[in-house]
C-alpha cells in the first residue's frame, strides 16, 4: 500500500501535529527471485528509497535500444536505473499524475527521457499520440509514495491534523472531504468495506454521517481519525484504528483499482513480442487484479470441458509468467519497513496477436 521509507507510527494515539494547509519465460530467463536489492541504512528519516529497485529493473530485461514506460515516476528511482541501462537510441517515457512528481522529474535532463502528466490508465492514448504504438517494457509501481504520505498538507496521513485532500493529482477531481460531505451512509459503508477491507465499515459510516448531520463536517484528517477511533471497538495490535478507512478513501478518491484494471489491458496491447510487464503491488486488492489478469492471459482456454476443438485451434496465451513472485529481502524490510507488503510480478508478451 505504501511505498518508500520511514514506517508511520502505529499506535492508536490521536495526538496529531498541526500543519498549515498546503515461470521462467523465454530462453535464458534470469532467476529473478534470487536478485535482492542492497539497501543502504537510512541516515535521513525523510529519505526516499525506491522499493525493489534492482529487482524491478532487472525484470524488465532492458534492451539497449528499447522503448520503456515507467507508469509511476514518483521520485524517479526506477526511471534513473532504467536510463542507466539504455543505449543512446533507447527511450523512456514516464507517467505520473502527481504535480510534485512532475516537478521532481525536471532534474532529469536526459534527451532519452520524457514525462507525461497523466495517470497510467491514459497511457495508450498518450503514447499513441506521441507516435509510440509498441514498447519493450512497462513498469508499474503501485500505491502511494513516502513523499506523498509524509507531506502533511496532502491529507493522506492520520499523523497530522491537515486538510482532508487525498488526491494524487491536486489539479483536478474531488477531495476526500468533498466525498464525505455528499455521500450516503450506505455508499460510504461500501467504500470502507470494499476498499479498506474494514469489518467495522457500517459503524464507521454511521459515525461519520452522524457527525456530518450534526453540523460538524469532516474536513481534516484529525477529525476523521477521531471519529473512526470512536467507532472501531477492536483493531489489530499496533495499528491505528483509522488505517483501513484512510486506505479506503484514498483508493476511492483516486479510483486506483479501476484505473489499474483499465491499464492492464492497455499494457497488453502496447507490449511488443517478448516485451516485459513488471508490477509492484502493495496490498491484496491491487495484487489480486494483477495476478488474475496475468492468469487470464496465460490460461486462455475457457471453453467447456470435452468441447470438440483441435488443440491447434485453442486460444493461445498472450502472456507468459516470468519467474516467481518476488518480495523484499529481510534486509530491505529492516531498512525500509514500508516495503514489507510489496509483491513484484513479471510477465512477458508472447507472439500471439
Q: What is the mean pLDDT of the chain?
A: 87
Residues 46-64, mean pLDDT to the nearest whole number? 88
Distance (Å) of CA 28 to CA 60, 71, 309, 323:
14, 26, 33, 12
By CB neighbour count within 10 A (0-12 exposed, 13-18 middle, 19+ buried), where does 225 fall? buried
How much is the average pLDDT of 291-310? Answer: 76
Which H or E run contains 343? strand 343-349
| The pLDDT value given to residue 37 | 39
Report the candidate in 81, 89, 93, 100 with the shortest Cα–Cα distance to residue 38: 81
Top-confidence residue, 320 or 313: 320
* Cell 498546503 -> residue: 22
pLDDT over 90 percentage in the chain = 75
CATH numbers and ranges of domains, the chain: 2-147+256-349 (3.40.50.150), 170-253 (1.10.150.170)
Contact 350, 320 (CB under 8 A): yes
Distance CA(224)–CA(242), nearest Å, equals 8
Closest among 37, 111, 28 to 78, alpha carbons compared: 37
Lowest mean pLDDT among 90-104, 147-161, 187-201, 269-283: 147-161
Q: How many Å apart are CA 5 and CA 41, to the nearest integer? A: 11
The lowest-confidence range among 64-68, 198-202, 246-250, 303-307 is 303-307
Residue 12 confidence (pLDDT) above 90: no
Q: Look up the pTM and report it.
A: 0.84
Cα separation, 245 vs 194, in Å, equals 10
pLDDT digits (tens, 9 = 90+) for 25-54: 444 344 444 444 333 333 343 456 799 999
Lowest mean pLDDT of 189-203, 211-225, 288-302, name the range: 288-302
123-132 pLDDT, tens per residue?
999 999 999 9
Q: Which residue has the cell 530467463?
A: 29
Amino acid at each position: 500500500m505504501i511505498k518508500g521509507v520511514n514506517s508511520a507510527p502505529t499506535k492508536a494515539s490521536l495526538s496529531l501535529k498541526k500543519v498549515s494547509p498546503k515461470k521462467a519465460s523465454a530462453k535464458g530467463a534470469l532467476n529473478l527471485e534470487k536478485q535482492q536489492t542492497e539497501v543502504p541504512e537510512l541516515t535521513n528519516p525523510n529519505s526516499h528509497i525506491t522499493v525493489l529497485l534492482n529487482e524491478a529493473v532487472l525484470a524488465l530485461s532492458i534492451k539497449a535500444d528499447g522503448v520503456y514506460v515507467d507508469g509511476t515516476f514518483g521520485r524517479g528511482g526506477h526511471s534513473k536505473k532504467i536510463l542507466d541501462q539504455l543505449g543512446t537510441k533507447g527511450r523512456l517515457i514516464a507517467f505520473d499524475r502527481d504535480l510534485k512528481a512532475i516537478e521532481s522529474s525536471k532534474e532529469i535532463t536526459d534527451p532519452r527521457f520524457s514525462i507525461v502528466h497523466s495517470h497510467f490508465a491514459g497511457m495508450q492514448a498518450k503514447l499513441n499520440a506521441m507516435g509510440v504504438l509498441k514498447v519493450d517494457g512497462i513498469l508499474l509501481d503501485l500505491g502511494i509514495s513516502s513523499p506523498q504520505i509524509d507531506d502533511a498538507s496532502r491529507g493522506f496521513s492520520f499523523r497530522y491534523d491537515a486538510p482532508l485532500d487525498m488526491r494524487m493529482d491536486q489539479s483536478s477531481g474531488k477531495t476526500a472531504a468533498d466525498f464525505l460531505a455528499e455521500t450516503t451512509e450506505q455508499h460510504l459503508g461500501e467504500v470502507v468495506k470494499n476498499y479498506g477491507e474494514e469489518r467495522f465499515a457500517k459503524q464507521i459510516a454511521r459515525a461519520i454521517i452522524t457527525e456530518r448531520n450534526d453540523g460538524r463536517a469532516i474536513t481534516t484528517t484529525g477529525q476523521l481519525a477521531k471519529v473512526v477511533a470512536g467507532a472501531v471497538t477492536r483493531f489489530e495490535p499496533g495499528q491505528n484504528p483509522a488505517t483501513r478507512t484512510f486506505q479506503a478513501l484514498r483508493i476511492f478518491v483516486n479510483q486506483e483499482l479501476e484505473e489499474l484494471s483499465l491499464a492492464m489491458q492497455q499494457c497488453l496491447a502496447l507490449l511488443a513480442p517478448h516485451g516485459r510487464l513488471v508490477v509492484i503491488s502493495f496490498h491484496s486488492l491491487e495484487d489480486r487484479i494483477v495476478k488474475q489478469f496475468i492468469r487470464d492471459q496465460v490460461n486462455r482456454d475457457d471453453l467447456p470441458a470435452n468441447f470438440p476443438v483441435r488443440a491447434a485451434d485453442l486460444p493461445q496465451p498472450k502472456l507468459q509468467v516470468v519467474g516467481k513472485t518476488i518480495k523484499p529481502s529481510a534486509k530491505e524490510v529492516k531498512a525500509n519497513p514500508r516495503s514489507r507488503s510489496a509483491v513484484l510480478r513479471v510477465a512477458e508478451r508472447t507472439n500471439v496477436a
